[in-house]
Amino acid sequence: MCSPLPFFSLLLICATGSWAMDVTMPFMEYLDQEQLVCLKWGFDNPAGDITFQLAVNTTGWVGFGLSPNGDMKGSDIVIGGVGSSGSYFSDRYATGNSMPLEDAQQSYTLLSMRENEGQTVMTFKRPIKTCDDKDFQITAQPIKLIFAYGKTDEISYHMSKRGTKEVNLLNYMPKSIPTNSSYLSATVDNIIVPSNTTYYHCKVMQFPKLNTKHHIYQIEPVIEHLDLIHHMLLYHCPPKVTEPYDKPCYIGDIGDSCFGIVASWGVGGGVYELPENVGIPIGGEKSDAFYRLEIHYNNPERKEGIKDSSGLRLHYTAKLRQHDVGIMTTGVLPGRMKYDIPPKANQFHTYGICNTAYFSKFLNPVPDLQVFAVFLHTHLAGTKVRAGHFRNERQIDFLGIDENYNFDLQQAVSLGSIKTIKQGDEIVVECTYNTTNRASVTKMGLATTNEMCLAFLFYYPVINITSCVSIPDTKGVLIDAEKIPMDKITEYEMMLKKAPQYQVIINSNHNASLFPNGTVRDLMKTPAACQIRNTSNRFSTSWIVNLAGIILVLLWIILM
């Protein structure tokens, strides 16, 4: 039986895995019901490294693995501990219910191993994608994690000291059960969906009054016609919006100025839960505020007479979390200026920028923005989206990468690490399109057959800026995208990329400011998908741990 002190120590180790305490490994799960085995992890991007920290209530050997079915056979395993002659650690694989074999290619690197007050804490990393056929490949799907440990450093049969738990390492969403499980409903009421191929319906409303500030922690879709609804967005309105309405969007109503994103759902997505230390503020001083629900109906078959009452259910709690969430739109400003994508292009890139140096014109001081999630969005022609992070004119990171964009699978995905954006940092959003099956120009716009290029950043602390987007000054671009020859497509793309950018920054009151002469900086190559390493069991001298993630929640925004 474990003594109370070591058990308490383990709880302290795992408590440091909160978002506020450890930005390098923000995810944490107990792998057993007794909470004696704690796993923390984080990663920088889906093509980089993933770092784990396993804390176990034992002074013997500890083992951790990735399994195809929860059993030993076919598992990718590491075993380590602190023995009488120092630490030991090895990458192994299991061929059955027997001692795992040592892998000839050691893909895992030990970062630290310590034993203290009855606990063994093993920190290690590996490439998310490896070239070793003995390694279990980590994907965005749930994986069965296995563990075992012994009372001594003699590695032998673990008996009952073992277990398994299914966890999605790359798309992790912690589950919380607040004592107050109340929710607000933002739904339309039995509207008739027109037979248009694309239709946007908007409902401006107020919620029941909440006298004190609360936090939304979970967004649940209420979908009546999954085949028609492409996405739903809930926006916060500026004070000038004072009356409700229920009608088509973007026909000149005052509610068109509601563009502070509060919640969303996109095709292919499900229930979205925020990390445990952040919440979307609602109520209190803003109890009288209006909100706009926008639903995009995609009806290519032009079905008639369909009634719909879909929307969003916002679960909230009076127990406030540490940070208020902000969602900032970055990328290409849709529909404002000419940014045409030529037909018959196998690969065409568009670019949008955000230079945060201008934020000081809106607020002072400008805090560091801690980005914990990003949503990348294009329409049907989009094949890839990347969001680069620059500091002092040099790229330091990617805020998001999707090399295999799927229009029909858009959902929230958590970043594996907190990305810090400092004042003066720049963001470049790059979208890649394939229009080989199109005979005419594709324009930026609302329709599914139009295009967008957006990255939505989820961050804290919230600031009074909702959008930071751009569009190229096309006055000097004399090529007509409609008539462009195939051999001139790359030249046309580069002319648009090199053109000065008009940057548009919009605050929560929908006041916009224009900043000319922006520059699109060159993005580095996406990190290689397959990494081969010659690693040893020696301690790493670096504690720079990666982490990133993916949160796909369909969020897009048209700035009217």
Can you give the three-state secondary structure of 53-122, one letter per residue? EEEECCCCCEEEEEECCCCCCCCEEEEEEEECCEEEEEEEECCCCCCCEECCCCCCEEEEEEEECCEEEE
Asked if the model's pLDDT at residue 85 lies above 50, the reply is yes
Residue with tokens 């009452």: 309
Asked if the model's pLDDT at residue 90 lies above 50, the reply is yes
| E strands, 378-519, in order | 382-391, 394-402, 414-421, 426-433, 454-460, 467-472, 501-506, 512-518
Residue 85: other Cβ atoms inside 10 A: 7
What token pair was written down for 471? 């569009």
Listed range (42-46, 206-210, 365-369, 371-375) with the worst mean pLDDT: 42-46
The share of the chain scoring above pLDDT 90, in percent, equals 56
Which of the pair, 150 or 407, is modelled with greater confidence? 150
Asked if the model's pLDDT at residue 67 lies above 70, the reply is yes
What token pair was written down for 541? 């001298």
The share of the chain scoring above pLDDT 70, in percent, equals 86
CA angle 128, 119, 81 (to 5 degrees): 55
Residue with tokens 């990390």: 275
pLDDT of residue 179: 53
When the pLDDT of each residue in the chain is averaged and rounded to a whole number, the result is 85
The dihedral through the CA atoms of 151, 152, 158, 159 has a sign that is: negative
Residue 355, H or E segment: strand 348-355
pLDDT of residue 83: 93
Asked if the model's pLDDT at residue 533 lies above 50, the reply is no
pLDDT of residue 432: 97
SS3 403: coil
Q: Is the distance from CB of 42 to CB of 544 less than 8 angstroms?
A: no
pLDDT of residue 407: 78
pLDDT of residue 406: 78
pLDDT tens per residue, range 241-298 = 999 999 999 888 998 888 788 888 877 677 788 888 899 999 998 778 999 999 999 8
SS3 559: coil
Asked if the model's pLDDT at residue 367 lies above 80, the reply is yes
Residue 495, H or E segment: helix 489-498
Residue 358: other Cβ atoms inside 10 A: 18
Q: Is the distance from CB of 138 to CB of 129 less than 8 angstroms?
A: yes
Q: Please, which residues have CB within 8 angstroms of residue 465's CB and are 6 or more apart in sequence?
A: 328, 359, 362, 363, 505, 506, 507, 508
Q: Please, which residues have CB within 8 angstroms of residue 160's CB and are 6 or more apart in sequence?
A: none
pLDDT of residue 250: 87
pLDDT tens per residue, range 466-520 = 999 999 998 888 788 888 899 999 999 999 999 999 999 998 888 899 999 999 9
SS3 353: strand
Asked if the model's pLDDT at residue 412 lies above 90, the reply is no
**Which long-range contacts link 194-198 to residues 24+ away (Cβ below 8 Å)?**
194/297, 194/299, 195/299, 195/302, 195/303, 195/304, 196/297, 196/299, 196/302, 197/298, 197/299, 197/300, 197/302, 197/447, 197/448, 198/296, 198/297, 198/298, 198/299, 198/446, 198/447, 198/448, 198/449
| C-alpha dihedral, 98 to 104 to 108 to 111, nearest 10° | 100
Q: Is the distance from CB of 95 to CB of 101 less than 8 angstroms?
A: yes
Per-residue pLDDT band at 548 (split at 50, 70, 90): very low
**Gap between the terminal Cα atoms of the chain:** 65
Q: What is the arithmetic mean of pLDDT over 386-392?
A: 96
pLDDT of residue 476: 81
pLDDT of residue 538: 31
> Which of 48-62, 156-170, 437-451: highest mean pLDDT?
48-62
Q: What is the arithmetic mean of pLDDT over 7-23?
A: 47
Q: What is the arithmetic mean of pLDDT over 537-554?
A: 27
The dihedral through the CA atoms of 440, 442, 443, 446 has a sign that is: positive
Residue with tokens 């040893």: 536
pLDDT of residue 156: 86
Task: Please list the active-site residues.
Answer: 200, 377
> Cα 65 to chain center, whole Å?
25
pLDDT of residue 337: 66
> Which of 22-36, 61-75, 140-154, 383-397: highest mean pLDDT?
383-397
Per-residue pLDDT band at 410 (split at 50, 70, 90): low
